Structure 1
Amino acid sequence: MSREAADYALRARADERDRISGDLLDLEAHTTYQVLKGASLRGTTERRWATAQDDLDVLWRLNDAYRAVLRRAEQIRASRARPGAEQLSALTELLAGSSVVLRVAARPVEQRSLLPHPDLRLTLDEAVIRMEAAFRGVTSALNDIDAVWNAVLPRLDGAEADLRQICDLERELGESAGLTAEASELARLRTATLENPLGSCVDPDLDRLTRLLASSRAELDLAITVKREFAERRENLVAALDLVRAAESEARLAHGAVVAKIALPPQAQPRGQVDALAAELDALDVSADPWVLRAKRLARLEDDARQAAEQARTTAKALYGLIGRRDELRGRLGACEAMAARKGLAEDPAVSESFVRARALLWSAPCNLTKAAAAVEAYQRAIHGGKR
């Protein structure tokens, strides 16, 4: 190797050494690496990290041997401004020969042999290739573990935050949501994720716990709101029941007014709900149920009151609509009678008979709307010669 070639090789190796050193420092500073150094691992993760640590041991030992060769080469080059043949020969051996010596690692006595184990000798290029393979082994393990932690730990943090908020809400409400088992399960999932991220599948359990905690927190929030607003909401509910009572009274009046004019089936009789709703409110007043249950009962009662009032109004409107339907049929019959007169069919026996039957049904009390509508339809067909 010439002096120029030796100088070039030394500069290139120095740059390579600095780059490798930077990568190794970054590796040691990696957050997951720092956590794993002191972590209690088990299962698949423990085995994978043990393999990675073996790679790491080889990596550092190779790096030390590699750097030692470069230090020796730099010392030889620095010894003379213009190296002679002896120095160039030594530099050639160090920079191009099998100068990196990887000592055989000490083993536990049960793994030893009395036969000799020669050290491994490598060129600088071979040493770098070995270091690269070991580095990839370590970073691959780090990446796989890191991927699980990055995906699962934030979700665990969120679930634990929900649990803390639930505890705060329980203290404010003075009641327990009974989530002791869920808290223990959450702690177990965190331990499993930290100790064996590569061998634990916590997603289904964590999904279930997350949904349950979110639901419990929402229920407690509602319970606290109801507890604070109960007196006001109760007064509003009393007013809502008055509206139900008025609407049901109107429905009964409508039924009384219509049933004398229109034939109604027994099921058309309006059924009041206000008494049952009022009884439920009285029961809620003296209930010893937890506020979570009372909140649900109050919300359901408010909905039932709104629906009962709406149903009563709809019933009254439908009943009065039957009078309108009868009047509509009467008007339609009159229009058909005028058409029959224009066509000269007023004296036709069949047409006249259809008219009389329809009129008798429409002016009877109570009027059977179904039969009356059919009779008007028959009268109209008779006018058109049996065609509609």
Structure 2
Amino acid sequence: MSREAAEFALGARAVERDRISGDLLDLESHTTYRLLKDARLRGRTRQRWEQAQAALATMWSLNDAYREVLRQAERIRAERARLGGDQLAALTELLAGPSVVVKAPPRPVEQRSLLPQPDERLTLDETVMRMDTAFQAATDALTEIDSTWTALLPRLDAADSALREVDALLTRLGETADLARTRSDLARLRAAVLEDPLDAGSAKQELDPIARFLADTQAELEQALAVRDEYGRRREDLGAALDRVRAAESEARLAHGAVVAKIALPPQAQPRSRVAELAAELDALDAAADSWSARAKRLAALEQRAEEAAQRARTTAKALFGLVGRRDELRGLLIASQAKAARTGMAEDPEAVRLYAQARALLWTAPCDLTKAASTVDLYKRAINGGGR
């Protein structure tokens, strides 16, 4: 090396040493690395981490040897302001030659020889490459383990938090629930994820239904608590809802009475009242000794049935009055068709005359057979159109 090249190489190696030191400090401060150092691992994770630790031990040993060579080079450079020939040669050997000594690793006795084991000598570049290989082996294991912990531990924490919330809600309601299996499963899954994350693939599938169960249970208990706190008001609202059902059913009965005199209706068209049934359910709910969770479900179902009953009665009334409208629509269609028949010269056609008389008799007779009347009007329209539509 020239003096300039030696100076440049020594400065570059100093920068490299600082960068490597920074990377190693970052590794040691990594949260997952610190957790793994004290973790009680098992299974595939333990095996993988032991391999990573072996790689790290190799890396630290290489790093110590690497730094020692650089310290020797810096001491030589500090001896004189201007490098002499001997100094330059020594620096060249340290910075460019195989100056890093790697001690031969101890071997099992069955693999030993009485002859001394030769040490390995590496250049600084070779040492850095070997350190990087060991570093990558360690960080690959760290990344794989960390990805599992990052994916599952927050979800386990959330499930534990949901379980605590469920316990708190049960206490507020003064109720109990058998959650022993859920606690046991969560503890087992947490241990599996912490001790052997690389073999914890099934934990996600097991955790999903537990999380859904806790979420559903929490929602039910929150609803039960709301029902307990609002029961008086919702009880009054439900009474008012039954009054609306009564009014809607009364309207449906009036509609049926008015329409049945005009339109022929089948027996099943008679509106059926649900008020007595719903009122009985409400009385039973008041007297029930159910838990607030069960009462919340019954109350919500009863509120929904009351709303549906009122809507069904209103729909029935509207449909019944619609039948009268349909009759009037057919009357208008018959009159319009007769006018068309007169314009086209079909008014005196015997078949048309017969169908017109039949349709008129049906539409102006009470109660009207609406289905038969509609069919006859359609036949009349065909007749005056020459058999087509």
Aligned counterpart, 1:223 = 224
Aligned counterpart, 2:246 = 245
| Aligned equivalents of 2:352, 2:80: Cα separation in 1 | 137
| Aligned equivalents of 1:125, 1:206: Cα separation in 2 | 48
Aligned counterpart, 1:78 = 78
Task: Note the 1:281-360 alignment, pairs <5 A.
Answer: 281-337=282-338, 349-360=350-361
Offset at residue 381 of structure 1 (A) = 4.0
Aligned counterpart, 1:60 = 60
Offset at residue 312 of structure 1 (A) = 0.8
Task: Note the 1:1-388 alignment, pairs <5 A.
Answer: 1-82=1-82, 84-106=84-106, 113=112, 115=114, 116-201=116-201, 202-337=203-338, 349-388=350-389
Structure 1 stretch 200-209 or stretch 360-369: which is displaced more? 360-369
> Is contact 1:351-1:382 (8 Å) kept?
yes
| Aligned equivalents of 1:341, 1:118: Cα separation in 2 | 124
Please give the TM-score of this superposition, normalised by the length of structure 2: 0.90
Q: Which amino acid aligns with 1:24?
A: L
Q: How far does the alpha carbon of each residue in 1:16-63 deviate from its partner, in whole angstroms, 9 at most, with x for none?
A: 222222221222111211111111111111111101111111111111
Q: Which amino acid aligns with 2:49?
A: W
> Is contact 1:357-1:375 (8 Å) kept?
yes
Q: Which amino acid aligns with 1:164?
A: R
Q: For the structure 1 residues 380 and 200, does the alpha-carbon distance in structure 2 shift closer, same or farther, using more than 3 Å as the test?
A: closer
The alignment partner of 2:101 has SS state of strand
Q: How far does the alpha carbon of each residue in 1:197-221 deviate from its partner, in whole angstroms, 9 at most, with x for none?
A: 2221122122222222222221111
Q: For the structure 1 residues 94 and 317, does the alpha-carbon distance in structure 2 shift closer, same or farther, using more than 3 Å as the test?
A: closer
| Aligned equivalents of 1:188, 1:368: Cα separation in 2 | 72
Q: For the structure 1 residues 110 and 329, does the alpha-carbon distance in structure 2 shift closer, same or farther, using more than 3 Å as the test?
A: same
Structure 1 stretch 129-138 or stretch 359-368: which is displaced more? 359-368
| Aligned equivalents of 1:206, 1:165: Cα separation in 2 | 17
| Aligned equivalents of 2:99, 2:297: Cα separation in 1 | 80
Please give the TM-score of this superposition, normalised by the length of structure 1: 0.90
C-alpha RMSD of matched pairs (Å): 2.6
Structure 1 stretch 110-119 or stretch 9-18: which is displaced more? 110-119
Offset at residue 80 of structure 1 (A) = 3.9
The alignment partner of 1:198 has SS state of helix
Q: Which amino acid aligns with 1:30?
A: H
Q: Which amino acid aligns with 1:230?
A: Y
The alignment partner of 1:378 has SS state of helix
Q: For the structure 1 residues 273 and 9, does the alpha-carbon distance in structure 2 shift closer, same or farther, using more than 3 Å as the test?
A: same
| Aligned equivalents of 1:34, 1:314: Cα separation in 2 | 69
Q: How far does the alpha carbon of each residue in 1:62-99 deviate from its partner, in whole angstroms, 9 at most, with x for none?
A: 11112222222322333344555444443343333332
> Is contact 1:222-1:292 (8 Å) kept?
yes
Offset at residue 8 of structure 1 (A) = 3.4
| Aligned equivalents of 2:149, 2:122: Cα separation in 1 | 38
Q: Which amino acid aligns with 1:261?
A: K
Unaligned 5+ runs, structure 2: none
Q: How far does the alpha carbon of each residue in 1:299-338 deviate from its partner, in whole angstroms, 9 at most, with x for none?
A: 1111111111111111112112222322333344444455
> Is contact 1:259-1:366 (8 Å) kept?
yes
Structure 1 stretch 302-311 or stretch 91-100: which is displaced more? 91-100
| Aligned equivalents of 1:80, 1:346: Cα separation in 2 | 132
Offset at residue 267 of structure 1 (A) = 1.5
| Aligned equivalents of 1:356, 1:97: Cα separation in 2 | 121
Q: For the structure 1 residues 187 and 345, does the alpha-carbon distance in structure 2 shift closer, same or farther, using more than 3 Å as the test?
A: same
Offset at residue 343 of structure 1 (A) = 6.4
Unaligned 5+ runs, structure 1: none
| Aligned equivalents of 2:367, 2:2: Cα separation in 1 | 126
| Aligned equivalents of 1:174, 1:114: Cα separation in 2 | 77
| Aligned equivalents of 2:385, 2:13: Cα separation in 1 | 111
> Is contact 1:354-1:375 (8 Å) kept?
yes
> Is contact 1:177-1:216 (8 Å) kept?
no
Structure 1 stretch 192-201 or stretch 65-74: which is displaced more? 65-74
Structure 1 stretch 63-72 or stretch 88-97: which is displaced more? 88-97
Q: Which amino acid aligns with 1:102?
A: V
The alignment partner of 1:49 has SS state of helix
